[in-house]
């Protein structure tokens, strides 16, 4: 009965939360990318990406906004559905957009929509101490959750810009403690954005769940980048952690394969992509 779910005609079974945990334990780096449509989802999957995120970054790279704040649940569902059709092996995660998880009941309703209508296998929310109750509520209903810490782009207007987080010792200690509490609340994955290498390393060492980084240094369990940054088609100034793999390769598929290989071989991120 479960054969199709496990194999889908692939030589390797699709990635699930257990696969991600095993990769952490085995020390195999987890290669992750964002995607927003079916055509790129096929390429990202064929390149060997383990986890694909339909990020609310779509507000910036697809819709042309300056921030992720205008993105809605319906936007994520539309793109997630398209991406789901293109994937075979990769694990599909959908972002919960701005203000879609302010109360446990609202968060559960929206997470259910992202899974049932969008085809997501996990939801990601930007979390701190204030979201522990939400993570607990989702986990109690067996919704797989990724908690996003560090730079939280949905809070850009409160923070006053896209800035590295956790540079001061007290802020770093607070972030490490919050990551532990989010794991204890039921988070299955933690994502760290724009933090010094030392914070990425400490959080990864202290958690049993996989830690995925974007600008979080080389010592996290996996790396994620925005697809359009990897392909060099993002407008404007790119952050320090971005590497344009397309610049070195003739086709998008080869560029994506090179990204996955660089993550697996620990060649990306290099010191010039890190904050310390
Ligand atoms: O929305 C997004 O694409 C993200 C990544 C930056 C991790 O959250």
Determine whether the shortest distance from the Cβ of 75 to ligand 1 is under 6 A.
no
pLDDT bracket for residue 8 (50, 70, 90):
low
| 16: enclosing H helix or E strand | none
Q: How far apart are CA 104 and CA 229, in angstroms?
A: 34
Q: How far apart are the CA of 226 and the centre of ligand 1, in A?
A: 7
The ligand 1 atom nearest the CA atom of 57 = 1
The dihedral formed by the CA atoms of 85, 87, 88 and 89, expressed in degrees to the nearest 10: -150
Mean pLDDT of 251-258: 98
Phi, psi of 91 (to 5 degrees): -85, 130
pLDDT of residue 127: 87
Q: Residue 6's pLDDT band (boundaries 50, 70, 90)? A: low
**pLDDT score of 223:** 98
251 to each of 40, 93, 103, 154, 244, how far by Cα in Å?
12, 26, 44, 33, 13
- The atom number, within ligand 1, closest to the CA of 212 reads 7
Question: Under a CB-based contact definition with an 8 Å cutoff, are residues 86 and 41 in contact?
Answer: yes
SS3 category, 128:
coil
User: What pLDDT band is residue 7 in, cutting at 50, 70 and 90?
Assistant: low
Higher pLDDT, 52 or 161: 52
Annotated catalytic residues are 193
Query: Ligand 1 mean position to 46 CA, how many Å?
Result: 21
Q: Is the CB of 166 under 6 A from ligand 1?
A: no
Say if CB 268 and CB 257 are below 8 A apart: no
pLDDT of residue 11: 74
- pLDDT grade, residue 257 (50/70/90)? very high
123-137 pLDDT per residue, tens = 999 989 999 999 999
What's the average model confidence in pLDDT over 54-73? 97
255 in Cβ contact with 231 (< 8 Å): yes
Say how many Å lie between the CA of residue 164 and the centre of ligand 1. Answer: 15
Q: Identify the residue with better confidence: 236 or 47.
A: 47
Distance (angstroms) between ligand 1 centre and the Cα of 11 equals 29
CA dist list (Å): 252 to 7, 31, 143, 168, 245: 26, 16, 33, 39, 9
Over residues 239-264, the mean pLDDT reads 97
| CB 86 within 8 Å of CB 46 | no
Q: Whose CA is nearest to atom 2 of ligand 1?
A: 55
Interacting residues of 93 by C-beta distance below 8 A, sequence separation 6+: 51, 52, 53, 54, 120, 121, 122, 123, 124, 146, 189
């Amino acid at each position: 009965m479960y054969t199709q779910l496990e194999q889908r005609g692939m030589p390797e079974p699709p990635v699930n939360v257990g696969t991600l945990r095993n990769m952490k334990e085995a020390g195999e780096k987890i290669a992750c990318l964002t995607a927003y449509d079916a055509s790129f989802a096929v390429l990202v999957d064929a390149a060997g990406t383990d986890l694909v995120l339909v990020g609310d970054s779509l507000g910036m790279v697809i819709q042309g906004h300056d921030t992720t704040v205008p993105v809605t649940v319906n936007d994520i569902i539309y793109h997630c559905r398209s991406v789901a059709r293109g994937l075979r092996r990769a694990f599909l995660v959908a972002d919960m957009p701005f203000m879609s998880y302010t109360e446990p009941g609202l968060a559960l309703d929206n997470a259910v929509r992202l899974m049932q209508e969008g085809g997501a296998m996990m939801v990601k929310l930007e979390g701190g101490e204030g979201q522990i109750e939400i993570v607990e509520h989702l986990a109690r209903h067996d919704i797989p959750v990724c908690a996003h810490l560090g730079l939280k782009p949905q809070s850009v207007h409160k923070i006053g810009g896209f800035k590295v987080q956790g540079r001061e010792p007290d802020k770093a200690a607070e972030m490490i403690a919050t990551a532990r509490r989010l794991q204890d609340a039921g988070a299955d994955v933690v994502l760290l954005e724009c933090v010094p290498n030392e914070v990425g390393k400490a959080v990864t060492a202290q958690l049993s769940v996989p830690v995925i980084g974007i600008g979080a240094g080389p010592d996290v369990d996996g790396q994620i980048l925005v697809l359009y940054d990897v392909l060099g088609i993002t407008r404007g100034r790119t952050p320090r952690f971005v590497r344009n793999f397309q610049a070195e390769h003739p086709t998008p598929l080869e560029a994506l394969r090179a990204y996955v290989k660089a993550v697996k071989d620990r060649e990306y991120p290099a010191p010039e992509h890190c904050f310390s």
